[in-house]
Amino acid sequence: MQIFRPVVILAGFAVAAISAQDDMDPPPEMEGEMDETDNYNPESAIRLEDMISEDQLKQLFAKIDTKGAGKISVKDFLDFGQGMRRHRANHYADESFGEMDGDGDGKVTFDEASNSHFGSHGDDTSPDHEHDKARVRAMFDAADKNGDGSLDPTEAVFFIHSDADPEVEEAVARVDLRQKDKNGDGKIDKTEVAELLGEAGVDMYYGQLDVNKDGFLDHKEFMAWESGRFFEHDGWTQLIEHADANKDGFVTVDELLKSREQEAQREHHFTYEHWAHELEL
């Protein structure tokens, strides 16, 4: 049973995205220092009976555990998430392609892609619009995998749903980085990123975003933030930290089940619960 229910899921992801933003402003206490039992509010508790059943969880686990190892890692969750984004993007592909392909010749040119993206705002000459135009160009070029200057239906999926293709996501991040890179050194420093993260956000997240610890964000490090992958990674890391009873870096079905029996840990199970609904398990 894999009937697709986009509304439920998109709403769920929107909530997840909003709560990620809420983490920014006002700044909460540092996650690592937060004692969940002290801050735990029973009013907002997710009830066990509202979560997916044991059987649904087992079915979902089997799908994520593609190697059949009986345990899953942060990377397995991330890979499955990427697969779900593609699944979602492909679901809408035909409809979106038809709308973009203005002359109906089965190919989407840059002008058609640009028109469908900007509609009647195409003649705007503001700096923000120039930035958007550069973004659209980058997305188009990255989606045009065979480089023939137009998008076939498969390529168009990546233009419309940039989160379904890491190369398009990276192309967007390069353009966005140029906009934030005020001193033009090709990297983002703390001052340049403050506008985006806020001072509190810089204190909280810059160290984690700067993976190679050189004091700057290159486009890949910046991309983690721009694409929302940073929060995704952080979310799975926290789930595993809380659920991984034997501390081997993986979670088994039993560890997941035991973890959600503890009220204070249920929020960590939020995202994959949505996958189960999306896949109608």
Site of interaction with Ca ion (CB under 5 A): 144, 146, 148, 155, 181, 183, 185, 210, 212, 214, 216, 244, 246, 248, 250
Nearer to Ca ion, 84 or 161 (CB): 161
Nearer to Ca ion, 66 or 212 (CB): 212
Distances in whole angstroms, Cα of residue 159 to Cα of each of 90, 156, 196: 12, 5, 25
Q: 207, exposed or middle or buried, with CB in 10 Å at 0-12, 13-18, 19+? A: exposed
Nearest-approach distance from CB 271 to Ca ion, in angstroms? 19
Nearer to Ca ion, 146 or 208 (CB): 146
Nearest-approach distance from CB 280 to Ca ion, in angstroms? 28
Measured in residues, the chain has a length of 281
Of 112, 229, 83, the closest CA to residue 170 belongs to 229
Of 39, 34, 150, the closest CA to residue 103 belongs to 150
From CA 86, how far away is CA 4, in angstroms rounded? 13
Nearest-approach distance from CB 180 to Ca ion, in angstroms? 8
Nearer to Ca ion, 223 or 279 (CB): 223
Nearest-approach distance from CB 154 to Ca ion, in angstroms? 9
Alpha helices, H only, 108-252: 110-118, 127-143, 153-160, 166-180, 190-209, 219-226, 229-243
Nearest-approach distance from CB 189 to Ca ion, in angstroms? 5
Which regions of 2-48 does DSSP assign to beta strands (E)? none
**Is residue 45 within a helix (H) or strand (E), and if so which, with residue range?**
none
Nearer to Ca ion, 132 or 189 (CB): 189
**Is residue 87 within a helix (H) or strand (E), and if so which, with residue range?**
helix 74-91
Nearer to Ca ion, 25 or 199 (CB): 199
Nearest-approach distance from CB 84 to Ca ion, in angstroms? 23
Nearest-approach distance from CB 116 to Ca ion, in angstroms? 16
From CA 20, how far away is CA 227, in angstroms rounded? 12
The answer to whether 2 and 279 are in contact (CB under 8 A) is: yes
Half-sphere exposure of 80 (CA within 13 A, CB side): 22
Nearer to Ca ion, 11 or 245 (CB): 245
